[in-house]
Chains A and B, each alone.
Chain A
């Protein structure tokens, strides 16, 4: 009975009421779910779709081909070679160690590489190709292909890698590339995503570094669909990048090769500039090094050998090295004196071998003195006393002003690293930098290019070019980028009177072409090619009064690093100048004996565009010159890479 009653009882009504309540709440919650769905999908839908695309699509970079670097005749000096590397995919290889052991019999794989590869396999997903070895030879590659069935998962890939076909010749100019380092990332402040690619190569020194942005090019991109673990499902699209710009240098590969060969064995630098447009046609710094070793990763013994070499092979001495210019500075003093009217070309000064200034005695290099001497002869014989007198008359400020006009003490803009400004001292400079007053002795020392004066071989060559032309020739190393020639306006005049310039040029001519000139024996015999030069021998040590009394120790008897620097600057042909040359042989000895012959050989090579005829040399020297030339390790013409087809 109770069961029957129940269905009409109070409980039934209450059940229905509470059911309405409960399911009302459920309906309410479902409305909440519906509105949430609406919010996520319709209101916020765009945002989430974007996030979904980001999830799904990866952007891969396609590294652009690095721009090539050519010499002035479009012969490549830095190119991209195919780099064969072997990669392995774990999921295809199966037993990684077994396959690696087999691979080891074909390609050299030391324990470190082996362990690194195994570690990389563990770290990466099974389908990611891991590079096992790079820079394989064609033979090794062929052997891997032949043994392919025994090497599951192993395949060869081709990449591009920098190669410098001329080796050490252009090491100091072009520099080299290397994998981007943490230090580089900090230094560059470059947002280019290419730099994030592991082992991406960027310029580390020289033109490679200074023109990095232009040479690198723009990355292409490949949009790929990936799944949650990163496996590539398909390529969606691809945007090609822009290869780096090709760079044409002003340097002549053959002259550069000659310069490097001629300087070999010494710690020396030589610069050849085209006086008419400032083109640097050769920029040699010896000893040099093989930049290719840096590209593939230099071994630490090799690197230590370079670092420990007292001749500093890694330094580009042409722009980084600064030396007291010695007597090559005398033209600046002479020009300052002539331009200010402190002297004229006819006036003579008496040289008795020294002058006394207060308690101090300043010596001429010739102890017996030159007697009565005029401007031309003061240059020809490099009389020091004449310039002591001149310097006292014009003062250091005028000399400094003149030196700056000729490009000394200035950091010239070239795409090379560590370009030194050198130093042209003034009274103000000494007060602020050293905190001492300028003394008259400082002026005297400066007059003969000693004391504080410092100049780089590049500056000396530039100074010579400016003397030869009377114009503010600016150095240029890049002839064109991406086919667009770099600016090359006709240099403006320095504003120095023709008479003064001619007087100095005449003195320089006498140095090389008149009997008694300090470089007379290093003259050019060919009349149309005669050069005007100036020797310089700069002390790196102080000669004490005691030593002078006992007789100055000869250079040959001193340790290498205390010997004098040998310098020589010259331009030629005298009548219609084309090239200016500066040679510095570190601790070489006398400029006349050690720097001048190098400068003459280089000058002739430049003037003749190759091996000069023997008649260019004085008759008595021809046999010796011929024999010496045979000893030079010059590159054979057929060993140069083919020039770029300009058509």
Chain B
């Protein structure tokens, strides 16, 4: 095990690890979270207690967790990846039986002190498991059918469970996130072409099954697709969210109405203003400039993950970093597309900004893993 021997000499230890953390990334994550606190403060009409305070507390806990995860060596995380995946999968099955039903979907387990959404946990666990899998797998076998089928199952099982809840957004994130890691690992492009075609077939099946006895999605999900395709068809009913969201967003203009000056969210025209649709408030109050600032921050986070991964010759750490970056990207890309009327309303929060516990914790744990991979990356001796 020369890897360990070779590396243990150069990898920082103890508190020295603090110096080797990817600090720009930590600052960027904190900056985005602060952006979120400001918006939550504004959405609550200038009230700190309503949403901002609990969010700050969660961030503090999450931040501490991120640090703990970062200090733990990356090889530990590689060894527990399978276990993490297994536990997440068990919890996901658990919500089928013990889950609380909220908003027409089974999504969380009430632990007493917090509501745990196993689907959020699974987003990270899947990335970990796949990264570990491809770290273990010989390069020559990557594109062999059996060795492709295995990770495919790792993706599909939780995805179908999540879809059953039903949570279209998370299912989408799991599928694309998992697929991205397979792509990065070097699985033959032919598989992706095949997947793309069968995916198209599935979409067709979903649309054609509507109204039949074997209908694949729930009625409200079909309705969301309808309103996505034509929001004006039902402006006060199902299309209300999209229409109001676009109005709030568009009314921001170039520089916005000013912090705390947004009318649409304050007067409750914007739906779920503190969670999935918080970007509308941000864009309304801070305008195009504010919206682009957040996007640039997001882009920088991904860029720092990317450079960290490129400089990392450990396959697990590299894949994990890229996988988490991609998952992070999918969060805000899906959320923003939805808010801007480019995708159906699927219920994905704006990462680090939207009010909500599990997503915040899971993302910070994810960045902890990225930090761990960064700190414990293999270095040339001497």
Contacts and interface: CB of A to CB of B under 8 A. Distances in A.
Contact of A48 (B183, B249, B295, B299): B249
B333 interface: yes
Interface stretch (B55-63, B94-102, B285-293): B285-293
Given A10-B139, A19-B306, A26-B302, A42 B253 contact: yes
A214 to B, nearest CB: 39
B274 interface: no
A4 B340 contact: no
Nearest to B256: A41
A41 B246 contact: no
A49 B139 contact: no
A643 interface: no
B149 interface: no
A3, A26, A42, most chain B CB atoms within 10 A: A3
Interface in B239-261: 244, 246-254
A7 interface: yes
B268 A40 contact: no
B139, B185, B310, B326, most chain A CB atoms within 10 A: B139
A18 B266 CA distance: 44
A44 interface: yes
Given A4-B2, A45-B250, A45-B253, A15 B333 contact: no
A82 interface: no
B186 interface: yes
B263 interface: yes
Contact of B287 (A10, A19, A41, A44): A41
Contacts of A47: 250
A48 B263 contact: no
Given A15-B185, A51-B247, A38 B269 contact: no
B139 A4 contact: no
A23 B302 contact: yes
A22 B315 CA distance: 17
B246 A48 contact: yes
Nearest to A14: B186
B268 A22 contact: no
B139 A56 contact: no
Nearest to A38: B288
Nearest to B2: A4
B21 to A, nearest CB: 22
Interface stretch (A226-234, A457-465, A595-603): A226-234
A371 B292 CA distance: 114
A30 interface: yes
B268 A37 contact: no
Interface in A224-244: 225-229, 233
Interface string A11-35: 1101110110111001101100110
Given A23-B306, A44-B250, A227 B295 contact: no
A228 B268 contact: yes
Given A19-B322, A30-B333, A48 B247 contact: yes
Interface residues of A, number: 47
Contacts of B319: 15
A33 B340 contact: yes
Interface string B193-214: 0000000000000000000000
A41 B252 contact: yes
A14 B142 CA distance: 12
A306 B266 CA distance: 57
Contacts of A1: 2
B231 to A, nearest CB: 13
A33 B186 contact: no
A1 B246 CA distance: 56
Nearest to B186: A14
B267 A40 contact: no
A6 interface: yes
Interface in B134-175: 139, 142
Contact of A227 (B253, B267, B284): B267
A36 interface: yes
B9 interface: no
Given A33-B295, A40-B340, A227-B268, A52 B139 contact: no
Contact of B292 (A29, A34, A46): A34
A36 B340 contact: yes
A37 B291 contact: yes
Interface in A262-302: none
Given A7-B315, A23-B306, A33-B333, A56 B288 contact: no
B251 A42 contact: no
Given A29-B333, A40-B249, A49-B253, A4 B183 contact: no
A55 interface: yes
Nearest to A233: B267
24 contacts: A1-B2, A3-B3, A15-B318, A18-B184, A19-B310, A22-B183, A26-B302, A26-B333, A34-B292, A37-B291, A37-B340, A41-B283, A41-B287, A42-B253, A44-B250, A45-B253, A46-B253, A48-B250, A51-B251, A55-B267, A56-B269, A225-B263, A228-B268, A233-B267
Cβ-closest 9 pairs across A and B: A48-B250, A7-B313, A52-B251, A227-B267, A228-B268, A45-B253, A3-B3, A49-B251, A41-B288
Given A4-B6, A12-B313, 18 more contacts: A3-B3, A12-B315, A18-B183, A18-B186, A19-B310, A23-B306, A23-B325, A33-B340, A37-B288, A37-B336, A40-B250, A41-B287, A41-B288, A45-B253, A52-B264, A55-B264, A56-B264, A226-B267
